[in-house]
Structure 1
């Protein structure tokens, strides 16, 4: 068991996500940074979809009641065992009675704590992920609270030697300005040509409204092509007849403050979605904090697939090293 002495700012149980339920309006939830999530599980020898703790901005304080093997990946929120600094992106041993805590965030926004065997919570709709807006999954459908206890599962697959570390070339770096690559669409045709260009020319600032549901950006107003609104659409130029929202869709209500819809967002609605963040850069989005700057870069489908291939190759290198 793991006892929660302090919960941190927002710590939830997450796995790869609740895939395949969009038709009933259920978003996937799941780890926002899939690369860091997968690597954390590989470092402890778990099934790659085992549940971990996703820690945001400020880490929890956890007491382990038994010996365990852990790994911590993702943004730079320096971990400590019994107040002594320990490494990230490395297989660590923790003894029964030891306390794991975290220092102040120095880079990125989220870290992933994997425990050999996985975090054992009920499976709901094929996933252990927490979706707080509906109160399902994880630990009672909510973020951790002081006094909670977490059970350790039995999903370990291979033994990984203590001290195994990920090569530095495979560890992402986290700055304060970011380039996020997107595919234009679904409704970019609604923007004027000038506003399409402005979307890519501007450096957008992340507002305080940035969480698992979505990130809101501050910049300049984007304008729409004039038209008579079709039947079924709202009266605002940013309204369209309802459509589905893929994860990473960027909508622009009323043309101001674009919103990147993320893991816990609604699955459809009636606002234009002018672009969609490519899957690999959703990992980058997970590590962006309020106040930081983002510049959007347009990619073709072919370029996006190549970026996905590159990430897969990195994970394959890690798998080869650890299995």
Structure 2
């Protein structure tokens, strides 16, 4: 089975659950930005959670199912068309040989996902099929899709679930306002009291400078305490001697406006990180479109771990309900 790429879309790439275990070597985990949407798409077509899907950003591709396929489209809202006829998102779709799959303009959020029964079967690189374009590995030649690419589809390993759609109440939201929970640190103590207050009490707006590496926000700015800069750190108060970055780190280069690092961000550098988005909210962050109004809410480690468990249990319950 294959999918033929007629038009590639804006930045369509192959993604899975990511390549864990190589961060210390400079390779980020990567994988689908909105993992919940990708996992639910895989569940609809009877795939394990780690099967590779297509991640479509703003403008989707035009694909032809050369030999037929069973698919599901999840994530940000956009029109789905088969041979020009509208089909539903969050619902299993059968494609006959020669059917053309295309998409309309996105109506919220940033990315949507095309899951194919059997998964996109490109070779693994460092244990993952995910495209990491900066490192030129994974996916198809370590790059976004191009017209003329032929995507191999693997063989199914499990039966189709009884359920063929995700109930609306179980689908993620793509809101124009977000509350993103963070744990404060590592260099939060270098902010002034007013700067620290602004970070978690004022509103921030996502700019168009947002991609798989990170999301830049505009807002009231923060302030840094006066201190002698350590040797090698540079003159900007937000500079430090190099340190590791956790996934979801909030750094403030230039000293005023925050950037939240996401799936493809580098693993270390010379900017102070003042907090980290909790695991449970990384998918929420990925759904933000430019202009999204955002508040950063501080939580404790116990709360962060509790939210991670709650998210895991909720996803399991949605997947389980498909099997009933």
Q: TM-score, normalised by structure 1?
A: 0.96
- CA drift at 1:155: 4.7
1:40-79 map, 5 Å: 40-79=41-80
Q: Number of matched residues?
A: 322
Residue in structure 1 matched with residue 15 of structure 2 by the alignment: 14
1:55-85 CA-to-partner distances (Å, cap 9, x unmatched) read 1111111110112111111111221111111
**Conserved? CA contact 1:239–1:271, under 8 Å:** yes
Residue in structure 1 matched with residue 230 of structure 2 by the alignment: 230
Structure-2 separation of matches of 1:237 and 1:75: 38
Structure-1 separation of matches of 2:320 and 2:190: 46
1:165-184 map, 5 Å: 165-184=165-184
Secondary structure of the corresponding residue to residue 10 of structure 1: coil
Distance 1:220 1:68, change over 3 A: same
Following TM superposition, the consecutive aligned residue runs of length 4 or more in structure 1 with deviations greater than 3 angstroms are: none
- CA drift at 1:114: 0.6
Residue in structure 2 matched with residue 206 of structure 1 by the alignment: 206
**Conserved? CA contact 1:208–1:290, under 8 Å:** yes
- CA drift at 1:322: 2.8
**Conserved? CA contact 1:116–1:156, under 8 Å:** no
- CA drift at 1:119: 0.2
1:179-218 CA-to-partner distances (Å, cap 9, x unmatched) read 1111111110110111111112221111121000111111
Residue in structure 1 matched with residue 39 of structure 2 by the alignment: 38
1:17-166 map, 5 Å: 17-161=18-162, 164-166=164-166
Structure-2 separation of matches of 1:83 and 1:303: 47
Structure-1 separation of matches of 2:45 and 2:56: 18
Secondary structure of the corresponding residue to residue 157 of structure 2: coil
Secondary structure of the corresponding residue to residue 108 of structure 1: coil
Q: Which runs of 5+ in 1 are unaligned?
A: none
Structure-1 separation of matches of 2:64 and 2:271: 45
Residue in structure 2 matched with residue 188 of structure 1 by the alignment: 188
Secondary structure of the corresponding residue to residue 76 of structure 2: strand
Pair 1:300-2:300 in alignment: yes
**Conserved? CA contact 2:218–2:257, under 8 Å:** yes
Residue in structure 2 matched with residue 269 of structure 1 by the alignment: 269
- CA drift at 1:318: 2.1
Q: Which runs of 5+ in 2 are unaligned?
A: none
Q: RMSD of aligned C-alpha atoms?
A: 1.3
Structure-2 separation of matches of 1:57 and 1:134: 23
Structure-2 separation of matches of 1:287 and 1:243: 28
Which moves more between the two structures, 45-54 or 198-207?
198-207
**Conserved? CA contact 1:44–1:156, under 8 Å:** no
Q: TM-score, normalised by structure 2?
A: 0.96
Structure-2 separation of matches of 1:142 and 1:120: 15
Residue in structure 2 matched with residue 311 of structure 1 by the alignment: 311
Structure-2 separation of matches of 1:56 and 1:156: 28
Which moves more between the two structures, 178-187 or 309-318?
309-318
